[in-house]
């Protein structure tokens, strides 16, 4: 599917993402191979549990997965315009229209609103950053990388957490400093 992992799309804290093709349809996909972890694969289970509950135009669709002993992979729809940070870097040489930036912002916001308020199970992502927003062929933004996500019951307003989650510089202050209040779906 990935032609021996020939085309790297990106690397993150939990693994590497490769471009691939589905053998039956030839459809382009992104295959995230998770690093072997010493734990029981909580990040993998979180990502699968979170993504399998979603269906929204601004969320990257889960197409499949592999969970075979220490081999763990997640197959997503391929996003040809890469991540938002790559897209903005490429577009810096040309003047980007405010309308385009506004549309991207609204799309990201709609995806988050869906996760927090309209999804089957409320999901708090905990790692929203430009590298985890992917752009499809029509420049529609889609949230991805749910490895640090946490499911939250609709009756709960605060989430119990033992440790901080997310990328430094993007973590909500409530997660780190308890004096700001607890983490919630309102992050």
Q: What is the pLDDT of residues 122-139, one digit of tens each?
A: 777 777 888 889 999 999
In terms of residue numbers, what domain contains 63? 8-77
Residues 70 and 126 in one domain: no
Structure tokens at 112: 């988050």
Q: Which of 29, 53, 77 is the last residue of a domain?
A: 77
Residues 108 and 70 in one domain: no
User: Do 95 and 70 lie in a common domain?
Assistant: no
- pLDDT at residue 115 in the model: 87
Q: Are residues 136 and 64 in the same domain?
A: no
pLDDT, residue 59, reads 92
pLDDT reading at 156 higher than 90 = no
Tokens encoding 174: 């409530």
Same domain (yes/no): 118, 138 = yes
Rounded distance between C-alpha atoms, residue 31 and residue 172, angstroms = 29
162, pLDDT greater than 50: no
The predicted pLDDT at position 75 comes to 92
| Higher local confidence (pLDDT), 54 or 184 | 54
Residue 64 shares a structural domain with residue 113: no
Assess whether 60 and 95 both reside in one domain. no
Note the pLDDT of residue 161: 47
Structurally, the chain folds into a number of domains equal to 2
The pLDDT confidence band at residue 20, using thresholds 50, 70 and 90, is very high
pTM above 0.85, yes or no: no
Q: Nearest-CA neighbor of 137 among 72, 68, 52, 79?
A: 79
21 is in an annotated binding site: no
Same domain (yes/no): 27, 62: yes
Domain assignment of residue 126, yes or no? yes
Domain containing residue 20: CATH number:
3.30.200.20
Domain finish residue from 34, 57, 77: 77
Tell me the catalytic residues: 127
CA torsion through residues 105, 48, 41, 7, sign: negative
Q: What pLDDT was estimated at residue 77?
A: 94
């Amino acid at each position: 599917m990935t032609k021996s992992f020939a085309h790297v799309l990106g690397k993150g804290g939990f693994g590497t993402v490769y471009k691939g093709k589905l053998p039956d349809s030839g459809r382009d996909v992104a295959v995230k191979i998770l690093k072997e972890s010493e734990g029981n694969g909580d990040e993998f289970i979180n990502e699968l549990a979170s993504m399998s509950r979603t269906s929204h135009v601004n969320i990257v669709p889960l197409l499949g997965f592999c969970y075979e002993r220490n081999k763990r992979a997640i197959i997503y729809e391929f996003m040809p315009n890469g991540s938002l940070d790559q897209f903005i870097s490429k577009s810096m040489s040309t003047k980007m229209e405010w309308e385009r930036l506004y549309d991207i912002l609204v799309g990201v916001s709609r995806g988050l609103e869906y996760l927090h308020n309209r999804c089957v199970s409320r999901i708090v992502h905990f790692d929203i950053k430009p590298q985890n927003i992917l752009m499809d062929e029509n420049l529609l933004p889609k949230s991805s990388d749910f490895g640090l996500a946490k499911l939250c019951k609709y009756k709960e307003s605060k989430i119990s957490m033992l440790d901080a989650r997310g990328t430094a510089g993007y973590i909500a202050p409530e997660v780190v400093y308890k004096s700001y209040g607890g983490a919630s779906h309102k992050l």
